[in-house]
Amino acid sequence: MGDEAVADWGICPLPEQQPQAVCARWSQHSPAQPCLSHSPVCLQANPFQHRICRVFSTSDTRDDSMSFEDFLDMLSVFSDSATSDIKSHYAFRIFDFDEDGTLGRKDLEQLVNCLTGQGEESRLSSEEMEQLIQNILEESDIDKDGTINLSEFQHVVSRSPDFASSFKIVL
Protein backbone atom coordinates (compact mmCIF):
# COMPACT_ATOMS: atom_id res chain seq x y z
CA MET A 1 0.00 0.00 0.00
CA GLY A 2 2.85 2.37 0.74
CA ASP A 3 4.36 1.89 -2.71
CA GLU A 4 1.06 2.50 -4.44
CA ALA A 5 0.60 5.64 -2.43
CA VAL A 6 4.02 6.94 -3.35
CA ALA A 7 3.48 6.08 -6.97
CA ASP A 8 0.25 8.05 -7.03
CA TRP A 9 1.79 11.07 -5.40
CA GLY A 10 2.40 12.68 -8.74
CA ILE A 11 -1.28 13.03 -9.53
CA CYS A 12 -2.49 13.68 -6.03
CA PRO A 13 -1.58 17.13 -4.65
CA LEU A 14 -0.35 16.07 -1.22
CA PRO A 15 3.38 16.84 -0.93
CA GLU A 16 2.92 18.21 2.56
CA GLN A 17 1.79 15.04 4.21
CA GLN A 18 4.13 12.16 4.58
CA PRO A 19 2.94 9.03 2.82
CA GLN A 20 3.82 7.07 5.94
CA ALA A 21 1.59 9.30 8.07
CA VAL A 22 -1.32 8.83 5.69
CA CYS A 23 -0.84 5.07 5.64
CA ALA A 24 -0.51 5.00 9.41
CA ARG A 25 -3.71 6.99 9.84
CA TRP A 26 -5.51 4.64 7.47
CA SER A 27 -4.40 1.47 9.24
CA GLN A 28 -5.51 3.04 12.53
CA HIS A 29 -9.06 3.06 11.24
CA SER A 30 -9.32 -0.16 9.31
CA PRO A 31 -6.37 -2.42 10.06
CA ALA A 32 -7.26 -5.31 7.82
CA GLN A 33 -10.10 -4.31 5.53
CA PRO A 34 -9.75 -2.18 2.45
CA CYS A 35 -12.80 -0.06 3.30
CA LEU A 36 -13.98 2.24 6.07
CA SER A 37 -17.54 1.86 7.11
CA HIS A 38 -17.48 4.86 9.44
CA SER A 39 -16.08 8.36 9.09
CA PRO A 40 -12.40 8.94 9.78
CA VAL A 41 -11.44 10.46 13.12
CA CYS A 42 -10.64 13.86 11.65
CA LEU A 43 -14.24 14.16 10.52
CA GLN A 44 -16.19 12.73 13.37
CA ALA A 45 -17.17 16.02 14.96
CA ASN A 46 -17.74 17.67 11.60
CA PRO A 47 -21.40 18.30 10.71
CA PHE A 48 -20.58 17.70 7.05
CA GLN A 49 -19.10 14.26 7.61
CA HIS A 50 -21.88 12.36 5.86
CA ARG A 51 -21.78 14.59 2.83
CA ILE A 52 -17.99 14.30 2.62
CA CYS A 53 -18.15 10.52 2.82
CA ARG A 54 -20.88 10.43 0.19
CA VAL A 55 -18.97 12.72 -2.21
CA PHE A 56 -15.65 10.91 -1.97
CA SER A 57 -16.87 7.35 -1.80
CA THR A 58 -16.71 5.34 -5.01
CA SER A 59 -18.08 2.08 -3.67
CA ASP A 60 -20.58 0.27 -5.86
CA THR A 61 -22.90 -0.53 -3.02
CA ARG A 62 -23.57 3.18 -2.33
CA ASP A 63 -23.12 2.67 1.38
CA ASP A 64 -20.67 5.62 1.65
CA SER A 65 -17.76 3.42 2.62
CA MET A 66 -14.31 4.77 1.74
CA SER A 67 -11.44 2.79 0.30
CA PHE A 68 -7.84 3.87 0.73
CA GLU A 69 -7.90 5.73 -2.61
CA ASP A 70 -11.01 7.60 -1.54
CA PHE A 71 -9.32 8.57 1.71
CA LEU A 72 -6.27 9.76 -0.24
CA ASP A 73 -8.50 11.74 -2.56
CA MET A 74 -10.23 13.39 0.35
CA LEU A 75 -6.98 14.34 2.04
CA SER A 76 -5.56 15.70 -1.18
CA VAL A 77 -8.55 17.96 -1.76
CA PHE A 78 -8.38 19.21 1.83
CA SER A 79 -4.63 19.79 1.77
CA ASP A 80 -2.69 23.01 1.33
CA SER A 81 -1.52 22.26 -2.18
CA ALA A 82 -4.89 21.71 -3.81
CA THR A 83 -5.80 24.65 -6.00
CA SER A 84 -8.78 26.75 -5.02
CA ASP A 85 -10.55 25.55 -8.18
CA ILE A 86 -10.48 21.98 -6.96
CA LYS A 87 -11.51 23.02 -3.46
CA SER A 88 -14.46 25.06 -4.63
CA HIS A 89 -15.52 22.27 -7.00
CA TYR A 90 -15.64 19.75 -4.15
CA ALA A 91 -17.15 22.26 -1.72
CA PHE A 92 -19.99 22.75 -4.19
CA ARG A 93 -20.56 19.01 -4.37
CA ILE A 94 -20.50 18.72 -0.58
CA PHE A 95 -23.03 21.51 -0.12
CA ASP A 96 -25.33 20.12 -2.81
CA PHE A 97 -27.44 17.98 -0.52
CA ASP A 98 -29.96 16.76 -3.08
CA GLU A 99 -27.26 16.17 -5.72
CA ASP A 100 -29.09 17.92 -8.54
CA GLY A 101 -26.06 19.94 -9.68
CA THR A 102 -27.22 23.29 -8.31
CA LEU A 103 -27.72 24.82 -4.86
CA GLY A 104 -31.42 25.45 -4.54
CA ARG A 105 -33.40 26.76 -1.60
CA LYS A 106 -33.62 23.38 0.10
CA ASP A 107 -29.86 22.89 -0.16
CA LEU A 108 -29.21 26.31 1.34
CA GLU A 109 -31.63 25.63 4.17
CA GLN A 110 -29.93 22.35 5.03
CA LEU A 111 -26.53 24.02 4.79
CA VAL A 112 -27.48 26.73 7.26
CA ASN A 113 -28.93 24.13 9.63
CA CYS A 114 -25.65 22.19 9.53
CA LEU A 115 -23.69 25.36 10.21
CA THR A 116 -25.73 26.49 13.17
CA GLY A 117 -25.74 23.13 14.87
CA GLN A 118 -28.23 20.65 16.12
CA GLY A 119 -29.44 22.31 19.27
CA GLU A 120 -32.95 23.73 19.37
CA GLU A 121 -31.94 27.16 20.58
CA SER A 122 -29.29 27.60 17.95
CA ARG A 123 -31.51 27.05 14.92
CA LEU A 124 -32.91 29.99 13.01
CA SER A 125 -36.66 30.51 12.91
CA SER A 126 -38.39 30.02 9.58
CA GLU A 127 -38.79 33.76 8.89
CA GLU A 128 -35.12 34.35 9.61
CA MET A 129 -34.23 31.41 7.38
CA GLU A 130 -36.38 32.74 4.54
CA GLN A 131 -34.83 36.18 4.83
CA LEU A 132 -31.33 34.74 4.96
CA ILE A 133 -31.83 32.56 1.90
CA GLN A 134 -33.36 35.47 0.03
CA ASN A 135 -30.32 37.62 0.82
CA ILE A 136 -27.89 34.90 -0.21
CA LEU A 137 -29.64 34.36 -3.52
CA GLU A 138 -29.74 38.08 -4.21
CA GLU A 139 -26.02 38.33 -3.65
CA SER A 140 -24.82 35.24 -5.46
CA ASP A 141 -27.38 34.35 -8.13
CA ILE A 142 -26.13 36.34 -11.06
CA ASP A 143 -28.41 35.00 -13.79
CA LYS A 144 -31.44 35.23 -11.50
CA ASP A 145 -32.72 31.73 -12.03
CA GLY A 146 -33.31 31.03 -8.35
CA THR A 147 -30.44 28.56 -7.90
CA ILE A 148 -26.68 28.83 -7.57
CA ASN A 149 -24.71 26.85 -10.13
CA LEU A 150 -21.03 25.90 -9.97
CA SER A 151 -19.68 29.01 -11.71
CA GLU A 152 -21.65 31.37 -9.49
CA PHE A 153 -20.47 29.47 -6.42
CA GLN A 154 -16.86 29.62 -7.55
CA HIS A 155 -17.23 33.34 -8.21
CA VAL A 156 -18.55 34.01 -4.69
CA VAL A 157 -15.92 31.85 -3.06
CA SER A 158 -13.03 33.38 -5.03
CA ARG A 159 -13.77 36.70 -3.34
CA SER A 160 -13.05 35.32 0.10
CA PRO A 161 -9.37 35.00 1.03
CA ASP A 162 -10.24 32.78 3.98
CA PHE A 163 -11.76 29.97 1.96
CA ALA A 164 -8.54 28.16 1.09
CA SER A 165 -7.29 28.22 4.65
CA SER A 166 -10.57 27.16 6.22
CA PHE A 167 -11.26 24.36 3.71
CA LYS A 168 -8.34 22.40 5.05
CA ILE A 169 -7.77 19.34 7.20
CA VAL A 170 -4.38 18.89 8.79
CA LEU A 171 -3.20 15.37 9.36
Q: Is 139 in the site for another protein (CB under 8 A)?
A: yes
Q: Of 11 and 32, which has the nearer Cβ to another protein? A: 11
Q: State the nearest-atom distance from the C-beta of 16 to another protein, in Å.
A: 6
Question: Does 8 help bind another protein (rule: CB under 8 A)?
Answer: yes
CA angle centred on 154, ends 125 and 84, rounded to 5°:
115
Nearer Cβ to another protein, position 106 or 168?
168
Q: Is 72 in the site for another protein (CB under 8 A)?
A: yes
Q: Report how many residues bind another protein under the rule CB under 8 A.
A: 73
Number of CB atoms found within 10 A of residue 144's CB: 7
104 binds another protein (CB under 8 A): no
For residue 53, give the 3-state DSSP assignment: helix
Contact 6, 19 (CB under 8 A): yes
User: Nearest distance from residue 163's CB to another protein, in Å?
Assistant: 4
Apex CA 144: angle with CA 141 and CA 147, to 5°? 55
> Is 28 near another protein (CB under 8 A)?
no
Q: Is 35 in the site for another protein (CB under 8 A)?
A: no
On whether the CB atoms of residues 70 and 138 are closer than 8 A, the answer is no
